[in-house]
Each structure stands twice: as structure tokens, then as C-alpha cells.
Amino acid sequence: MEHDDLKSYAGEPVRFVRELLKGDPWSRQEEILRALLEQPRVTVRSCHGVGKTWMAASAALWFLYTRAPVAVLTTAPTHRQVREVLWREIRRLHRQMGARAGKAEIRETALRLSEDRFALGLTTDEPDRFQGFHAPHVLVIVDEASGVDDAIFEAVDGVLTSEEARLLLIGNPLHTRGRFYESHRKEGWAQFGISALDTPNVQGRDLDDPAQRNAPAPVPGLVTARWVWERRADWGEDSPLYQARVLGEFPDQASDALIRLSWIHAAVDRGKQPRREAGPHPVEMGVDVARFGGCETVACIRQGARVLALEAWRDADLMESAGRIVRLAREYGAQGVKVDSAGVGGGVTDRLREQGINGVVDVNVGRSPRDSSRFGLLRDEIFFGLRDRFRDGDITLPHDPRLVAQLAALTYTINSRGQQQVESKSRLDLRGMASPDRADALALAFAVTPAPRPAVVTVGRSR
């Protein structure tokens, strides 16, 4: 039978990858591929950029071509991830096999060798699609497993009934709940964690030595030492984002975290979906003003629950910053511009009104809140309002790693009067965390504020 000559690779996944897929797996990838030989359940939490998708695609082709009858099923949180991430790699590697691939019917998310030898990519919005797949040999691969609902895992369990069934979970450890998280804490799983510090391009390098971190990466496509150094500088080693994206560990997000990392990632995921009509909601801006130094001036523009844009700049005087804000307000048709007026921000609000910008609101976040029984300052009240939006899924963010890191770093305490207080910028600085300028602008954009003062009317100048 065609393809039977490849069954000799059934017990040698690494040799299959090297000889047929022309790949060169590094040590941890070899360990995971070999684990699929003996272990029915393998789970891999990893940092960004370690080749986990390549490894999963390689495993899919090895299992499919070395067994019969066989079914390989793959899934991920969205159809886009199924089609454009894992299956794009499967199709690429299949081409690498050349003539050894034999006669095969390959489509966008399907590869069929015969009636009883096939691989399929399934979406997670239809658990029923996983029913009815039974074969002596079954491999199920769940990509980005941290974002897959428990209902899908329950459907997958119904497929894994044969003696030669295998389950491979791979993903970034973003959520401290769900089946992917539990798989790293229960017996019966071969558990792997991949840190960027263990990869060939980073291992053994001194990140504080510019020559070492900027030296050429020996393995193209894998995470680099410079990337790790930049993430450490941007996020801080104690950041939940650093733990998940760099160290490949589930974030140690304590009970005092203001906004859960899973809520933040859910908001970013919503931003990747096709944009819907915003309806009658006005466009509003939140502006956090800096002057010189390491801080950024940030303007956040939103309409309804969706953040339309986030623009940031450094080392600009107040008039230059005011000019940029005027341009953005006019470009997006903002009907409300909320500016942190504490410190240098007051001069900016005066200039905006002078330029005829309507809807300008001075927001002094250091003043008393409306509900002083619950909050110490207005800043606390605004941020807890933002927290409620994240909790309720009523906010949509663009992909902005610095914003995500700043939001995830915020903590809160309860003082002796029972008031909730968000961690101050000075406390964040003591922890070595960046000033949360982007998070501040976001909070201002969604803040409920008093009615704005009217713009200044100047003779000969339009509003």
C-alpha cells in the first residue's frame, strides 16, 4: 500500500523530522516528540518564539504517515489560528516531503492519504464536530490550548478512546484556570515547560552584555537574546507578562492584581475580530501628559467599548504635545477629550480650548472621588471602573504589548478606612516597573467625568 514504506519511522519521530521534513529540532523539541511515543497525554507550556507550532505540525505529519488506520485532529481557539498558524505550517512541511509524500489530497485544513488515513483542522465553536472520529490510532493537537473552552476538551475526551490515542496540548501559559492549566498540575501527563532562557539563541548569554545579546542568532526563527532583553526592560522580571511570554510559566498573579491577565488577553483577542459598527457612541479621548524624561505622553481614542487608536510620544514640549492632540481630536472627530490636568497637563487643556477643541475636560486624578467610602482618590475610582469593564468583557483593545504589561502590573490595596487604592506610580517605580502612562490614558478614555467647559471663542478663529 502507498505510504507503507514510511511506517519504519513509527518509533523514530526525530529521524522522520530530520530526513523527511528537512528539520533540525533542538533538544527540547526532540524530548517532546519522543514523549509522544510513550505518553498518551503530553502538555507543553512555552514562551514566545520557540518553534512550538513547527513542532506540532511535524508531530501531525509523523503520526499520519507512520500509522494506519489513523486520524489526526487539530484545533485552536479561532478558525484563523487553525487555518493560518498550524495548518499553514503543516502545508509547508508537507511540501518539504516532496515525492515521499506520495499521492495525497491536501486542502486548507485537511490532508487525506486514504479513506482511513487523514488529518483535519477543526474549529472550537462546534464541539459536535469532534464526535464520530474513531480509529486505532488517533492524535489530537490543541494549539494555543490556554484559550480553548472546557466544552471542547470534553468533546476531545470522547475521541481518545483507543489504546493508541494521543493528546498534545501546546500554548503560552496565559490563564491560571482551565484544562491546560490543570494539565500541568495533575498526574498522568508528560509535562514540559520551555523558557526563552533555555533556547539555543539565548542560553548561556549575558543579557546585560550588549555584545552577547546582539550577537547573531545561531537558529533562525527562534526567540533572540535581544528580544528577551527588551521584554525584560519593558515589562520587568516580576511582570505576569514576562513570566508567561518569556519564562513560559503560568503567571504568579496574586490576589492583589487589579486586572487579571486573562481579562486583558481576552480584550486583545476581541480586537482581532472583524470590527462591527460602533452605533451612536461618541468618540472620546483620554490623554496622559508627560514633558521630558522617560515617561510618554499618550493619547487613547475610543468609541464605545473599542479602542480605535493608542498614540504615544516622548520628549515633546507642551505646545508640541497640544498640537498632536488637536490633530488627533480633529482626525477622529472626538466629542470629549479628558486630560490628566495634574502637573503639566493643565497647560495642555488651556491650549486645547484656545484652539477651539470642544469637550475638553480637566481630570485631576489626585482629587477626591465621587464615592469616598470606597476609594481613596479619583484615580482609584477611575481604574476600578476600568477593571469592571475588563471583568465584564466590555472593552476591546488593540495589540499593544506595553499597554498589556502596564495593565497586568497594577495592584491594589485596601487601607485602614476600607478604601480601595490602586498602586501609585512611585510604588511601581520602586518595584522597577515602567510608569503606566498607556494604562493611565486608557483609564481616562473610559472615565465618567463632569461636563466639559466650553472652548475659548477667539474673534476671527473658528471653534
**Among 185, 72, 68, 187, CA closest to 133:** 72
SS3 category, 437: helix
Grid coordinates standing for 233?
A: 526592560
pTM: 0.64
CATH of 261-445, one of 3.40.50.150, 3.30.420.240, 3.20.20.60, 3.30.70.870: 3.30.420.240
Instruction: State the DSSP code for 163.
Output: T
Mean pLDDT of the chain: 87
Residue 33 confidence (pLDDT):
96
Find the radius of gyration of the CA atoms of the chain.
Answer: 26
**Among 412, 434, 47, 439, CA closest to 239:** 434
Q: What is the pLDDT of residues 122-132, one digit of tens each?
A: 876 666 677 76
Of the listed ranges 24-28, 42-46, 162-166, 381-385, the one predicted with least confidence: 162-166
Rounded Cα gap, residues 28 and 173, in angstroms: 17
**Residue 287 near residue 348, CB atoms below 8 Å:** yes
263: pLDDT strictly greater than 60: yes
Give how far Cα 460 sits from Cα of 326, 351, 356, 457, Å.
19, 17, 12, 9
Q: How confident is the model at residue 182 (pLDDT cuts 50, 70, 90)?
A: confident
Give residue 212's identity as a one-letter amino acid code.
Q
Grid coordinates standing for 429?
A: 517605580
Domain range summary for the chain, segments of one domain joined by +: 4-194, 261-445
Q: Which helix (H) or strand (E) holds 167?
A: strand 164-171
Q: How confident is the model at residue 265 (pLDDT cuts 50, 70, 90)?
A: confident
Instruction: State the DSSP code for 366.
Output: T
Residue 237 confidence (pLDDT):
81
Helices (H) and strands (E) in the chain, counts: 17, 15
Residue 4 confidence (pLDDT):
64
Of the listed ranges 66-75, 104-113, 316-325, 451-460, the one predicted with least confidence: 451-460
Rounded Cα gap, residues 431 and 417, in angstroms: 25
Fold of 4-194: Rossmann fold (3.40.50)
Report the interhelical angle of 261-271 vs 401-409 (nearest 10°): 150
More confident residue, 17 or 149: 17
Q: How confident is the model at residue 86 (pLDDT cuts 50, 70, 90)?
A: very high
Q: How confident is the model at residue 1 (pLDDT cuts 50, 70, 90)?
A: very low
